[in-house]
Chain A
Amino acid sequence: MNSVRVGFALARERLRGASAPLVLLLACAALFAIAVLERRSDASSAPDDVLSGAVFGIALPILAYLVSERVCAYQRLTRCVDDVARYGTNRRAALLGVLLASAACSALASALLTIVALLGAHASDSSSLASDLRASVGIALIAGAVYALYFAAASLLGKRGGGRKWALVIDFLLGAGSSALAAPWPRGHVRNLLGGEPVIDLSQPSAWLALSVIGGVCLALSIVRTRE
């Protein structure tokens, strides 16, 4: 348990600094501006458009990618806990701590982006804001966590975890479809949860399950592929 806490602390220290809050702040400002523009263009579809496009389509994957890169110290996943492993910390347990920190950070950041975007997309007196927030924040939390685990598992590839970049590209390209090719990637299932086109005609409860499976498989793969 101590090793998990050490891994969590290591990730927290790696995320510390001015740049992470600054990027989050800029992303929030940009999404709010986009949401306001969407509302002025078409108020009725603005929340859906800004969530499925700017927030979950672009900002969230990129943010999770950046968080993953930072907590891994720009290294391959299996090497990212070597700094604490030298003192006797179990690598697998420490990695679990790093992944939990990464998932929590991405999930919270995604929720924040979603809230800001919805505040911009809804008029101040809108009656549907509260219900939209309730529905979307839950999706943001799981999507953020799954994307973090997805990029972590991809960091198993490449000398310095370059698989992360490929994972981002593949999610953008293959996840955009609705065929079986889109099933292994988070994007299509997140889109389904937001009311968009489902992947291989999966229902929304199945999309929750699919995201959980992707997150679980990525987590298991990351741990199993790391030496003690």
Chain B
Amino acid sequence: MSVLRLEALNHEGLSNVTAAFGPGNHVVVGNERDGTATLIELAAGLVAPRAGRVLLDEAAAWSNAATRQRIASLRAEETLLPAPDVTRAVALALRARNDARSAASVLDAAGLARFAKQRVSTLTPHESRAIALSIALSHHEPALLALHEPLGAIGLIDEQCILPALNAFAAAGAVVLCTASRLEDAARLGRLASMLEGGQWLDSTRALSALRAVTVRVHTPEPRRLAARLAEVSDISGVEWAGGQELLVHGSELERVAQSVVANARAEAIRITALKQDAPALEALAAARAGFTGPT
């Protein structure tokens, strides 16, 4: 049973991040600007933290080869190892991991055999990430999987290949740490969610309230009048108008926000031509709310 600890981590936008992850699936919600890519690189021991510590089973992966060998990782931007073709790049990676399996079997298992003979230099960034993910998922006994947006590879790798593999690793006692910029992906990836917002760490309790924030896009011929009216409504935390006929209305409860918009527009006799929730999708938010539980 492995444990990943981040202690007072300060590094490229990450601000004093302290967290611990036990065996199982963990999702950090946020995008690259929030520091998720940096978090994964630090967790996987790909870079040394400027301040603080990253420990996997009490060993710093950055400076410990044996610990790194137990980590499978996927970065935000992947470049395969230098080689004339994909097969040889994957083979070199497996050799570096001391893995006796063939590159062809790894690519085949992920449904990426069609790239085997392709030149590494001709791969798109999306394809490079998918191949890097196939290498990560082929790890025979990882203590930690640190994966940045693993569901971004769907399209090249079947979702039914990724999620069961992650669940199997988690069940075997590995720490599966994934990041997701979309709530929908977060809900599919894991049960235990935290959040990075502008480099600030929010544990699952605080993340849940942040994740509850909703935005509704309202189209109306009279946006200024409606904005003025909505600014005084308690259920609405903010209104944005960037010109045109669209308003962005922020709040914490989707139904209340929508009802307030409609009621206030009706009271002022303002016509609404469209009303829709900004991403994430309604069902994703519901799934996320239902799925997220307390901190580790």
Q: Contact residues of A with B, CB < 8 Å?
A: 2-3, 5-6, 9-10, 13-14, 16, 73, 82-91, 94, 227-228
Residues of A within 8 A of B62 (CB): 227
Query: Is B38 on the interface with A (CB-CB < 8 A)?
Result: no
Interface residues of B in 88-107 (CB under 8 A from A): 88, 92-98
Distance, CA A6 to CA B65, complexed state (A): 14
**Interchain pairs with CB closer than 8 A, number:** 66
5 shortest interchain CB distances as A-B pairs: A88-B69, A87-B96, A87-B97, A13-B82, A84-B96
- A13-B96 contact, Cβ under 8 Å, with A86-B44, A86-B45: no
CB distance from B108 to the nearest CB of A (A): 20
Q: Which residue of A lies closest to B88 (CB)?
A: A13
- A9-B92 contact, Cβ under 8 Å, with A86-B44, A86-B73: yes
B46 touches A228 (CB 8 A): no
Residues of A within 8 A of B71 (CB): 86, 88
B44 touches A88 (CB 8 A): no
A88 touches B92 (CB 8 A): no
- A13-B92 contact, Cβ under 8 Å, with A84-B81, A86-B73, A87-B97: yes
Residues of B within 8 A of A83 (CB): 79, 81-82
CB distance from A194 to the nearest CB of B (A): 36
Residue of B62, B64, B81 with most partner-chain A CB within 10 A: B81
Distance, CA A5 to CA B98, complexed state (A): 11
CB distance from B81 to the nearest CB of A (A): 6
Further pairs besides A2-B95, A88-B66, A228-B65: 4, Cβ < 8 Å:
A84-B96, A85-B65, A85-B68, A228-B64
CB distance from B215 to the nearest CB of A (A): 38
CB distance from A74 to the nearest CB of B (A): 12
Query: A88 contacts which of B48, B65, B83, B84 (Cβ < 8 Å)?
Result: B65
B95 touches A9 (CB 8 A): yes
A87 touches B63 (CB 8 A): no
A89 touches B65 (CB 8 A): yes
A10 touches B82 (CB 8 A): yes
Distance, CA A228 to CA B59, complexed state (A): 13
Distance, CA A228 to CA B60, complexed state (A): 11
A91 touches B65 (CB 8 A): yes
Q: Which residue of A lies closest to B45 (CB)?
A: A86
Distance, CA A89 to CA B63, complexed state (A): 11
Residues of A within 8 A of B98 (CB): 2, 88
Task: Write out, one digit per residue, whether chain B residues 47-82 have a CB within 8 A of any chain A CB (1) or not (0).
Answer: 010000000000000111110111101000001011
Distance, CA A78 to CA B209, complexed state (A): 43
Residues of B within 8 A of A85 (CB): 65, 68, 96
B92 touches A6 (CB 8 A): yes
Selected A-B contacts with CB under 8 Å, 22 pairs = A2-B98, A3-B65, A6-B92, A6-B96, A9-B92, A9-B95, A13-B81, A13-B92, A14-B82, A16-B82, A16-B84, A83-B79, A84-B92, A85-B68, A85-B96, A86-B44, A86-B45, A86-B73, A87-B96, A87-B97, A88-B65, A88-B68
Residue of A6, A10, A82, A87 with most partner-chain B CB within 10 A: A87
CB distance from B132 to the nearest CB of A (A): 10
CB distance from B95 to the nearest CB of A (A): 6
CB distance from A224 to the nearest CB of B (A): 14
Query: B96 contacts which of A14, A16, A88, A227 (Cβ < 8 Å)?
Result: A88
CB distance from B243 to the nearest CB of A (A): 43
A87 touches B68 (CB 8 A): yes
A10 touches B65 (CB 8 A): no
CB distance from B190 to the nearest CB of A (A): 23
Distance, CA A140 to CA B93, complexed state (A): 35
Residues of B within 8 A of A84 (CB): 81, 92-93, 96
Q: Which residue of B lies closest to A73 (CB)?
A: B82
Residues of A within 8 A of B95 (CB): 2, 5-6, 9
Residues of B within 8 A of A86 (CB): 44-46, 68, 71, 73
CB distance from A101 to the nearest CB of B (A): 13
